[in-house]
Amino acid sequence: MDLRDPVLKDDSLPALVARLTGDAREMAAAELALAKARVANVTTRYKAAVAFFAVAGVLALAALIALLVGLILSLATVIGPGLATLVVVGVVLILATVLGLIGKARLTRKDAA
């Protein structure tokens, strides 16, 4: 340790404590800035992922609608368009009701961990 170093010239206890607190503040500010940068980076990545999931969900819904329309058109040749629509919509609503009740039961189950 070279005592001629300008940083170590004033080696009184109050000066050292003042330098220590100043350095601690600078370090805390730097750590906070680093944490903010990391959060911003992760947030940006998650925003992009959520956008891709949303587009995938919309496309999957469009495919399901196309499948149901195709099913109605296929059944229409056998039982007529009105009855085919009624049958397909009825089956889909029954399926949606059953799945909704299963979901509700899982939410209200007392032993859920």
In this structure, of 2-6, 82-86, 104-108, the range with the lowest mean pLDDT score is 2-6
Each residue of 40-93: pLDDT tens digit? 988 888 998 999 999 999 999 999 999 999 999 999 999 999 999 999 999 999
Q: Is the pTM of this model over 0.75?
A: no
Annotate 20-48 with b (16+ C-beta within 10 A) or e (fewer): eeeeeeeeeeeeeeeeeeeeeeeeeeeee
Domain ranges within the chain, ordered by starting residue = 13-109
As given in the structure block, the two tokens for residue 65 are 């609608």
pLDDT score recorded for residue 68: 95
Roughly what angle, to the nearest 10 degrees, separates helices 13-79 and 81-108? 150
